[in-house]
Structure 1
Amino acid sequence: MQAIADSSLNQAFLKADPQNVRNVCIVAHVDHGKTTLADSLVSSNGHISARFVGKLRYMDSREDEQTRGITMKSSAVSLYYEPFLINLIDSPGHVDFGSEVNSAVNLADVALVVVDVVHGVCSQTESLLRQAVASRLDMVLVLNKLDRLATELKMTEAEAYRHIQHVIGHMNSSLSQIIVGAFLENDQDDLSKMEATEARLHFDPAKGNVIFGSAVHGFAFSLDDFATLYAVKLKLEDKKELTSCLFGDYYLAGGKIRPDAEAKGKATLFEQLVLKPIWEVHKVGMVDKDIDRLKELAAKLGITGVTSKRLDEAFEEFMRNWMNLAKTVLKTCLRCNSPKDAFANPERAAIITGSEDHPLIKPVQACDANSDMVVVYVAKLLKCDAKKIAMCRVMSGTLKRGTSLFLAGASESDPLTVNSLFAMIGREVVPIEAAPAGTVCAFELTEWLTGTTFCSTPTSTPLAFASTTLEPLVRVTIQSLGTGDDWDELRDALKQLAILDQAVRVIEQENGDLALITAGEVHLQKCLQDLEDMGIQNIHVSEPIVPFVETIIPESYSSYAKILTVQLTECFMKSAGLRLKLRAVPLHNDVVEYLQKNDAIMKAIRERSATEKQLTQFRDGIVSVAKECLPGWKGSFWMRKSEADIAELVDRIWSFGPIRAKYNVLFNGIADYDRPSVWETKPGVKRYYPLDRAIVAGFDIAMTAGPLCQEPIQGVAIIVEEWKLEAPVIEKPFARILDSDSDNSDAEPTEDEPIPEPVTPLEAPSLTDFNDPHVHGQLISAMKATCKAALDKHPRRLVAAMYKCKVQTSSQALGKVHTVLAQRHAKVLNEDLNQMSGLFEIEAHMPIVESFSFCEQLRKKTSGMAAAQMEFSHWQLLEDDPFWEPTTEDEIEEFGVKGDSVNQARQYVDMVKKRKGIFDELIVVSAEKQRNLKRNK
């Protein structure tokens, strides 16, 4: 390997052949050693000193990353080992930064999956495996922190071997489940193809896709390294024989390899030939701390370069010269796909193009540096040395200074001219002249981009790289404190942030404020830092807000007759002669989940772009799910409905909910009102009436603001059972109708008071002719009010967004962890002792609204002995009735007359009402005049 200076990197890019390029991303759970591994690789190329590996955190260029000790943004470095160019992308491990991991995966062809060999497979490890499998990346397993097994856990060679076997087995088990799940999800039943995929990705040290080492000490090895060493000593003609046996149930006896080591109580080859010498070196260098003995071992093994007089530095020099990490990683990565080969696989090419007939699929598959078609995919934007930089991958052709690029998919756009081109070196950039196909580089921008795919010729369709699946839920309102130009700059920056971070949503509210919605607390802080890096300052950011959802549930103790009569709600508008009858009905959770899975089709229905095939499949799916869960649902309107009744109602769906409350349904339950349903693309003989949209508009408004605290509603069906336009009742001028409920209803008119003339009914106009805008507005208001009244006849509940929280802690801090979880209203699901790490692992569901500053509180209470990882799990119904009051004697005795016990749902409702300025409670219940007890003299 030959390390080169930054000034020579330009020549490295000019000489780069796609076959000799490797794009490698490092992915791992938090604190498993990604950034330290990157430091080791960077130091091998001469950019930093080996002494700073694991301390400098070279790839963490942001101040908040250095402060927190975690990676928050993906960053790249180009390393040159003539003639090979390695583009290394480091990625975050925190679950909030899934979009950053997504950017790293999209730029790479090879994934180094780093696993702390002590802790083993963690929650984020499985998520990253799933992402790598979905993107069809080659994977290499790096078992990091091997030194801890010998020095901290004091394992023997045999114990360490079994432990490593267990970790690799766990990884393969997770990988197998992910592959099977991916095939089933895509409705693929080709068993042979699934088995071939599993066999190709299966982690096996004998295959060369498993590396053992310690990034902080700069050493790593594969079985091939020791097989090469021992093949000569054992006089084996073919080292492959030793490689295949070195991690198996084999032992060495009489200079020959024999099977059944475990059955015969013998030390395996891996224990005897690999772990034993490594354990001996660690014992001398880190336990006994004998520098003279260490140098004797170096001389015995023929290792040079151990010159330091400090023991810790001498030990690392010994290990780096004996089993160099960069050399091992490079050799392993060179066995993986190059950019030239990566997209030759039609399946992977189809992933980024979206279809086999995409106009860019051929140049992307060819990955030809000499192609006239230059295709560039921009993965992320960043600021470096006060420059706006777009980090990208060249998919085809050669990107040069002066190249003009067009935004793919834009009907009309001015070309973007590349004036400055750079190679990435972590926090720095190095100017280069050109970047051929397959390389990762960056170019300077004069203004922020509005897309991610650029071509040298105008193209109608952009590339369709995979995006993150994180659901943004934490919202803040951002206001500029400057002038109108500052507002425009803030708006443009937020728009740019949303384009390249799929976990970000930006909404311009009705009052003109800008709402930023992020995946979590840490992600929010990272986004605010991004805005600052873009030069956006002098802004005001509100307190974070987490949304809730409202719903209704069945009244299990109600009779069916009561459900049919009491829950029916009627509204009569005298002035317009409109009569409206409807009922609110809860939808089963299975139906709601089906609607959520088919969100894309529901969007197409709203936009009137759904095909007949899509509508038929969606309709049949709803009918199937509804028939399974709705009939016999105790306490609900559906309890005695037959499958035929349910199918008929599904056929008469009037509308689905609005964008803010999509998972609700409006049914047309009027037998003689023959209007088109959502399933009909062509109305035919059926027609819409002028007031029809008023009904839907009223329904939409009602669903966006529920009765509890005006949060969106979910899982509710509104069934309109009657809608009539009758003769409006209008009094003649100066006429008066006596109210039968008034006090003087029986009084005789006086002589001075004229006798009221009779009410004159007008002739009822037909629905087809009645198109008065005033009545439209009245009907919208009536529909909204009637829906709200119908909802009030059911038990109302709040639905909260939940995190799945995983906490690792020692036994000493276990009680404090449970205390903190209880204070946050978290429900513990599982608690197990990890036999590999000796730490307790606690799984719990926690309301996202309770999660702010949770990790910080956890660290303080446990003195740093506990660490948590949180990711969005689901929406959960809160069982507490927000309006519950004790009624029985036992309840009054236990909770008091007012029911002063903690009601979690009520607390959340009051909190949201206070934030929205909805006041419906008396602050002073029984006011009395204050008296002064002092007697005046």
Structure 2
Amino acid sequence: MVNFSVEGLREVMDRKNNIRNIAVIAHVDHGKTTLTDSLLAKAGIISSTQAGEKHAMDTREDEQAKGITIKSTAISLMYNLEDWRLSPLKAEQYDGSEFIVNLIDSPGHVDFSSEVTAALRVTDGAMVVVDCVSGVCVQTETVLRQALTERIRPVLMMNKLDRCIFEKCLSAEEIYQQLQRIIEDVNVLISIYSDDTVMGNFRLDPSVGNVAFGSGLHGWGFTIRQFAHFYAEKFKIEESKLMKRLWGSNFYNKETKKWGKLPGEGWVRGFECFVMDPLTKMLRAALENSKDEVVLMSQKMGIQLTSEEKQQEGKHLMRVVMKKWLSVSEAMLEMIVLHLPSPKTAQRYRTDILYEGPLDDEAAIAMRECDPQGPLMIYVSKMVPGKEGGRFYALGRVFSGTVFQGQTVRIMGPEYDPNKKKDSHLFIQTIPKMAVLMGGGSMSIGNVPCGNIVGLVGIDKYLLKMGTISTFEHAHNMKMMKFSVSPVVQVAVQCANPTDLPKLVEGLKRLSKSDPMVQCISSETGEHIVCGAGELHLEICLKDLESVHAKIPIKVSAPIVSYRETVSAKSDRVCLSKSGNKLCRLYATAEPLPDGLPEEIDEGIVTATQDFKERSRHLVENFSFDSTSSRKIWCFGPHNSGPNLLVDSSKSVQNLHDIRDTIVAGFQWVTQEGVLCEENIRGVRFDLQDAHIHPDPSHRRGAQIIPAMRRVLFSSMMTARPGMMEPVYLVEIQCPDSILGGVFNVLSRRRGHVVEESHDQNTPMCQIKAFLPVRESFGFTEELRSQTGGKAFPQCVFDHWQVVPGEALDVTSLAGSIVTEIRERKGLPANLPALEAYLDKL
């Protein structure tokens, strides 16, 4: 029975200190969805007997069938907390005992990392779930890095503790050392990626209460504080002091009843003596059906068991007793409320990195103060398909102001530029309806104040995937999300029945809306291409396209990898191109960008919108740019955000600034469709060396300049040793030491190379990290499993771009064969045009 109503929820929405917006993040199969079941059961959304097995947040059929989360799902929950749980908070830090937790359960599989990014943007805190046996894995690091980059504060839930006790049969001291090591690993990541100057210095420490332990499957869990609260009265010690003694190097002597800092005979670690011992005794007694012992221990702990519950046996008895004694939902809830920030706190330090405009305008001030009376600012991070086909809820976070039904708002797409008088990315519309998202369903609501998460209806006509909504006329956009994965795998789709083409085109539009990462491209050759992050991501997208969005049978090509064109040397001459009317001349060269700069552009460290003096200083200090040319960067490309630069290196050219826009347009065209095979360009700096421009404006229009610019940039690339770049996965493989030979064989056959190998001291397991080109990754998992008898578990995550070996202009090399293959696929002439086709002579 749901223990709250929309009216009750709406009332608490006004209490900024009592809201927690959190995302649950982790590596795949570490137990996120299983744990969220317990939180849903405590809020009355599902029955407590189903918690741990229902996977209520997996709302799609394929999620339930595959047993993994595919889409991040939002739900609003309301709780009433006991006074003793709130005692560490100061009086001004909360308002009443009712709390709203807006929770987003996110996927753990690397192919769906974009869903994690979308979830993190609208939340302020993250519950990081780590399997006590597997520890910190590659995706744990990826999602934690994403969270800390967005200035999201984490807490840690150590799941599957029961596996350490029963499956691994570790002693209490070994369990402590294992948990301590994992917590230290997470703290190392936090120290690397967090910004201490803004968010404060926070470490995860069980003795503070921001780490919980438990078993989501069996519904039990605890924080050190719960045990400290229980023992505080008995020992007559303050709860906070006792928490510090129950973790770390604090030892207790049962004979002398004293505490000490050093181990020795008769001294037992506080965690082992007061936490693990009673826990293990209760678990073993319940599992082994020692009912008298269970009843006796339950009475000591103050647990009341009904006669019906006492009749249970084995695992059922264990679950009943443990849930009553140490409920995992209470442990998680206490950690979320006490150690994660409210919107009022979080927006003070998050606004600086979220808002693109001046940080002293009305919108920025209202966001920082989380002011419900200020101008409306909403960031829409993703589109959620509604129950009725074809319509989407825009999932957004209200950062300032209050959004209400019928309100007239400015809907700004990601490309919106506030400096333009008229912008095609701006729509002024009214909001017809809004809702609170509840997992697979929704509840209508009249208005929502800042600090909350909301689903807007009717906005999907104007936004494709994400955007900003405001009522402030001079509002700037909120920063675009940076994804940790790239859509590097693509397939061509066509309808089985040619008459269904309009349905396919409409279905592709809906598919593009429904996923933050997927790209649907309709090429000039009539091909419809779907780009995804990996094989599984594409499989899910294509299934959705066929069964949900287009509802027609489709045919799919074999997967194709997207490549990038680049250069590896400076042009061997200054290239010249004349306009069609021969009255204008452009001179240019190309050269590779310094190592590391394309990655900084991708990560948003170097951008087109930052202050040019600050950017110039950064390029001069870190990448040895010339101080003059670093200030004369005209634009980035493609889309004014890609990893290529156009630099004005000319000296006193007349009328140059009159044709700047058309020169930039030519550059953008070239960076989207390179000279070798019309793939995007990456890591190239083009310098405009000189120009002769006709003084009559009618002779220097776009039709003359843009093709000339394209040809001069093509010829400058052809003279700068052009090459191809391919995407590379970082593969993390966990396997027993005995099958290492098989793993290395598979990797070497697929051009993979090992970069790190580590062995676990406690188990005969090995962890290998290797780089594997995406081109070689198709069928990699199947081959690895067949070679190792299913004992190796790989996880691939996009890591970087690398240059393909060989000369791109030599068809016998690997790079040349890739160019030929792509040209053939795109229907381009098999032979590359000669340099003379682009290079003009005076």
* TM-score band, normalised by shorter chain: 0.7 to 0.9
Quote the offset at 1:416 in angstroms.
Answer: 2.8
Distance 1:572 1:30, change over 3 A: closer
Distance 1:801 1:418, change over 3 A: same
Partner residue, 1:346: 348
Q: Is the 8 A contact 1:339 1:367 kept in 2?
A: no
Partner residue, 1:734: none
Distance 1:228 1:504, change over 3 A: same
Distance 1:439 1:917, change over 3 A: closer
User: Which of 70, 79, 82 matches 1:81?
Assistant: 79
Q: Distance in 1 between matches of 2:374 and 2:746?
A: 61
> Are 2:18 and 1:13 equivalent residues in the alignment?
no
Secondary structure at the aligned position of 1:120 is classed as coil
| Structure-to-structure mapping, 1:284-363, within 5 angstroms | 284-286=285-287, 288=288, 290=290, 293-305=293-305, 306-337=309-340, 339=342, 341-343=344-346, 346-354=348-356, 355-363=358-366
Q: Is the 8 A contact 1:74 1:104 kept in 2?
A: yes
Secondary structure at the aligned position of 1:213 is classed as strand
Partner residue, 2:121: 106
> Are 2:841 and 1:915 equivalent residues in the alignment?
no
Q: Is the 8 A contact 2:629 2:648 kept in 1?
A: no
Where structure 1 has 5 or more consecutive residues not aligned to the other structure, the ranges are 184-192, 555-562, 605-609, 629-645, 667-676, 726-765, 886-898, 922-937
| Structure-to-structure mapping, 1:524-535, within 5 angstroms | 524-528=538-542, 531=545, 535=549
Q: Is the 8 A contact 2:146 2:484 kept in 1?
A: no
Quote the offset at 1:443 in angstroms.
Answer: 4.3
Distance 1:441 1:769, change over 3 A: closer
- After superposition, the C-alpha distances for 1:741-799 in whole angstroms (9 at most, x for unaligned) are xxxxxxxxxxxxxxxxxxxxxxxxx99999699998997898588557645xx5x6432
Secondary structure at the aligned position of 2:595 is classed as helix
Q: Distance in 2 between matches of 1:333 and 1:686?
A: 63
User: Which of 386, 397, 406 matches 1:393?
Assistant: 397
Distance 1:247 1:876, change over 3 A: same
> Are 2:442 and 1:429 equivalent residues in the alignment?
yes
Give the TM-score taking structure 1 as reference length.
0.72
Quote the offset at 1:90 in angstroms.
Answer: 0.6
Alignment-mate amino acid for residue 912 of structure 1: I
Distance 1:243 1:486, change over 3 A: same
Distance 1:489 1:262, change over 3 A: same
> Are 2:449 and 1:523 equivalent residues in the alignment?
no
> Are 2:595 and 1:590 equivalent residues in the alignment?
yes
Partner residue, 2:727: 801
Q: Distance in 2 between matches of 1:781 and 1:461?
A: 33
Q: Is the 8 A contact 1:212 1:221 kept in 2?
A: yes
**C-alpha RMSD over aligned residues:** 4.6
Q: Is the 8 A contact 2:593 2:685 kept in 1?
A: no
Quote the offset at 1:479 in angstroms.
Answer: 5.5
Q: Distance in 1 between matches of 2:180 and 2:493?
A: 51
Distance 1:846 1:5, change over 3 A: same
Quote the offset at 1:569 in angstroms.
Answer: 9.4
Alignment-mate amino acid for residue 281 of structure 1: M
Distance 1:42 1:860, change over 3 A: farther
Q: Distance in 1 between matches of 2:168 and 2:325?
A: 24
Alignment-mate amino acid for residue 842 of structure 1: I
Q: Distance in 2 between matches of 1:454 and 1:571?
A: 46
Alignment-mate amino acid for residue 341 of structure 1: K
Matched pairs, number: 789
| Structure-to-structure mapping, 1:681-696, within 5 angstroms | 686-688=654-656
Q: Is the 8 A contact 2:383 2:395 kept in 1?
A: yes
Partner residue, 1:445: 458
Q: Is the 8 A contact 1:30 1:70 kept in 2?
A: yes
Q: Is the 8 A contact 2:667 2:710 kept in 1?
A: no
Distance 1:44 1:837, change over 3 A: farther
Quote the offset at 1:321 in angstroms.
Answer: 0.7
> Are 2:197 and 1:271 equivalent residues in the alignment?
no
Alignment-mate amino acid for residue 427 of structure 1: G
Quote the offset at 1:843 in angstroms.
Answer: 0.8
Q: Distance in 2 between matches of 1:439 and 1:841?
A: 41
Alignment-mate amino acid for residue 648 of structure 2: V
Q: Is the 8 A contact 1:698 1:782 kept in 2?
A: no
Partner residue, 1:740: none
Q: Is the 8 A contact 1:661 1:703 kept in 2?
A: no
Q: Distance in 2 between matches of 1:392 and 1:775?
A: 45
Alignment-mate amino acid for residue 20 of structure 1: N
Distance 1:496 1:264, change over 3 A: same
Distance 1:127 1:265, change over 3 A: farther
User: Which of 371, 379, 382 matches 2:381?
Assistant: 379
Secondary structure at the aligned position of 2:359 is classed as coil
Q: Is the 8 A contact 2:366 2:374 kept in 1?
A: no
Alignment-mate amino acid for residue 239 of structure 1: E
Give the TM-score taking structure 2 as reference length.
0.79
Q: Is the 8 A contact 2:729 2:798 kept in 1?
A: yes
Partner residue, 1:170: 185
User: Which of 118, 122, 125 matches 2:133?
Assistant: 118
Q: Distance in 1 between matches of 2:225 and 2:770?
A: 43
Quote the offset at 1:696 in angstroms.
Answer: 9.6
Secondary structure at the aligned position of 1:389 is classed as strand
Partner residue, 1:53: 51
Alignment-mate amino acid for residue 437 of structure 2: M
Quote the offset at 1:164 in angstroms.
Answer: 1.4
Distance 1:775 1:469, change over 3 A: closer
Q: Distance in 2 between matches of 1:432 and 1:652?
A: 51
Quote the offset at 1:331 in angstroms.
Answer: 2.0
Q: Which has the larger radius of gyration?
A: 1
Q: Distance in 2 between matches of 1:769 and 1:56?
A: 70
Q: Distance in 2 between matches of 1:390 and 1:653?
A: 37
Alignment-mate amino acid for residue 38 of structure 2: S
Q: Is the 8 A contact 2:383 2:393 kept in 1?
A: yes
Partner residue, 2:244: 244
Quote the offset at 1:169 in angstroms.
Answer: 1.6
851-860 vs 324-333, which moves further: 851-860
Q: Distance in 2 between matches of 1:163 and 1:525?
A: 37
User: Which of 171, 175, 192 matches 1:160?
Assistant: 175
Secondary structure at the aligned position of 1:216 is classed as coil
Q: Distance in 2 between matches of 1:620 and 1:845?
A: 34
Quote the offset at 1:37 in angstroms.
Answer: 0.5
Q: Is the 8 A contact 1:591 1:622 kept in 2?
A: no
Q: Distance in 2 between matches of 1:534 and 1:124?
A: 29
Distance 1:270 1:62, change over 3 A: same
Q: Distance in 2 between matches of 1:240 and 1:658?
A: 55
